[in-house]
Chains A and B, each alone.
Chain A
């Protein structure tokens, strides 16, 4: 139990595997003899699913820690900037039913809650526009920074849209060439155990038994180690989140210089929603739906109807790829000397792009808390399981919120989503609370919440939720302070509208000139 944890094996070569291997290798100096040893075993046959083309702003820090230049990332991964999400048709499906969940926090969010002040003028301005300049930048197709802004620094907070296959290849190259990760392409044919049940080694076809102290399962839906070998049960969330199918398609731009949206566009349909992600070279579009509420044929017809206005009849010939989604997660994520990251741990649905951020958070926690010995591993495992059970629950609450607040009645999908029995107690409690109280920092208990109270504000008030104000008086100068913040937001927007280039212009410039490090 006192033997040091020195050798790690990551199973699986998708984004989850390489991000985890890279994070561990970078922080624990895998390229030095004194560091840890990180081996990534990847089956030569397994096809990478490559979902998760959207990231959070956290990805900037993750990439920086890995030592990848942002210029290389943008060039090699067909990446573009994402400043948040635009939700169309989620409330009632009307033409003007649009709201934003931007990545930039409401103005003055650490000092003042602007929601009460906005509520007094809700007829005149949308919540996100009143408190944040970013939706207006997105509407005008502007980039979140300038060519003179250093790499990974922002003018407006941003994450990325990226080609997941290219991303895995860039990570592989960087991890193996710069960070000292060993890459083994081989089939795992068996798992050998210690008498106490820990995994001792992986049996492979050509490399024999490969031993390690910690095994990180990034094998995707297969969940080879945690699911298949250890039999940790899968907890289905299908009763809460109904999406179980996806149809994905790559959509070419009509012109080489067509604008690139710098936000994910999410458009509600009769039994699901369509994602629309702009990369420099193409759009990635897909329909996720509930097969209990709509047939694949109907879903396909809705998807093609969505693409047709931008592409014409060509929309009917684009090949579709069908992906099954089984929403849920493993009952626990770290068991004995094995921890699962990415789809091997679970997957819900693409809404709000929570997949890659959970990978980043998992990799960061494993790396920060990397047990020194097998003896302390069980303590770390317990803490990891607590943290991630909490995180999955919060993600589920937040995703469900989007469906619960909808007023759509065009299929049972939306009505079923609103039925109490499908809504987690924790979310029902929050919704009750927020009838009288505006979401604020102290509504959530953890320092590093996945979705902050600001995100809840954007979705709640974007979707028309009304908080009944307290009958008693506000602090005397509250309204004055709030109006200063509203004015400050408008001032910033004015400045940014002239200072920022359009999204494609900036991406072209980065390809041509690169971004400076400082």
Chain B
């Protein structure tokens, strides 16, 4: 069970957070949600596909790190072997708390999962400065959390637009590895390129104005990364 606490500079004044990347700290994940703001960096490293959120059934883009659950093919003894790590991985073990504020913007606050193995008193990055100010590390985390908060809304706008134009299609990836073993990735969705090519001008302009067109092409541009992901898998056989 997660043990979420609102972060404050009295209770947590000596708190440190380990930023090393390792399965020990829960980085052995096969995918994570990604957001429009980071798709350009993400597509340079990982395949981007869409899946349905298990809670809402809505589509969301994800980056794939592995082919099986709890398999992160970018993780080795040296850490996470990629030049960009998605925001929703970077934020760990912090979360954003949203308190609805009638008639005004919601109140946002930084929370932390105190049960996370990253939480320490001795190792890692200090969260607060000596006299209680936010450390550069916490400033970075705060901006990451804000980007994620806005990213959820942006994802919704993006996927509603794509689903509305019937630009998404389900796909199943059948993979045969060098040792002959077969893997199947199901429950994934991608851009229907035929639909995209036949989209009429006004719809394309709408997508462009809403900032979704770039996301569409970033997702398409990420697909060759499947080959690199499979190469990583083969290299570990």
Contacts and interface: CB of A to CB of B under 8 A. Distances in A.
A148 B163 contact: no
Nearest to B168: A518
Interface in A475-518: 509, 512-518
Given A513-B58, A516-B57, A516-B59, A148 B52 contact: yes
B168 A148 contact: no
Contact of A146 (B57, B168, B189): B57
B55 A147 contact: yes
Most chain A Cβ neighbours within 10 Å, of B52, B166, B168, B189: B52
Interface string B54-76: 11111100000000000000000
B170 interface: yes
Contacts of B55: 147, 509
A516 B58 CA distance: 7
A512 to B, nearest CB: 8
B57 A518 contact: no
A518 B170 contact: yes
B189 A518 contact: yes
Interface in B183-223: 189
B163 A509 contact: no
A149 B53 CA distance: 11
B52 A517 contact: no
Interface residues of A, number: 12
B169 interface: yes
Contacts of B169: 518
Interface in A106-148: 146-148
Nearest to B59: A516
A512 B53 CA distance: 14
Contacts of B54: 147-148
A518 B192 CA distance: 12
Contacts of A513: 56-58
Nearest to B58: A513
Contact of B56 (A149, A509, A517, A518): A509
A149 B54 CA distance: 10
B57 A147 contact: yes
Nearest to A147: B57
Given A147-B57, A148-B57, A516 B166 contact: no
A146 B56 CA distance: 10
B168 A515 contact: no
A486 B158 CA distance: 45
Contacts of A509: 55-57
Contacts of A517: 163, 166
Contacts of A514: 57-58
A512 B169 CA distance: 23
Nearest to B169: A518
A149 B169 CA distance: 14
Interface string B143-173: 0000000000000000000010010111000
Given A516-B163, A517-B166, A147 B189 contact: no
A189 to B, nearest CB: 46
A516 B50 CA distance: 13
Contacts of A518: 163, 166, 168-170, 189
Contacts of B168: 518
A178 to B, nearest CB: 16
Nearest to A146: B57
B6 to A, nearest CB: 27
B231 to A, nearest CB: 30
Contacts of A146: 57
B56 to A, nearest CB: 4
B162 to A, nearest CB: 11
A377 B55 CA distance: 52
Top 5 nearest A-B pairs (CB, nearest first) are A147-B57, A148-B52, A513-B56, A148-B57, A513-B57
Interface of B: 52-59, 163, 166, 168-170, 189
Given A147-B54, A147-B57, A518-B163, 10 more contacts: A146-B57, A148-B57, A509-B56, A512-B56, A513-B58, A516-B57, A516-B58, A517-B166, A518-B166, A518-B168
27 contacts: A146-B57, A147-B52, A147-B54, A147-B55, A147-B56, A148-B52, A148-B53, A148-B54, A148-B57, A149-B57, A509-B55, A509-B56, A509-B57, A513-B56, A513-B57, A513-B58, A514-B57, A514-B58, A515-B57, A516-B58, A516-B59, A517-B163, A518-B166, A518-B168, A518-B169, A518-B170, A518-B189
Interface of A: 146-149, 509, 512-518
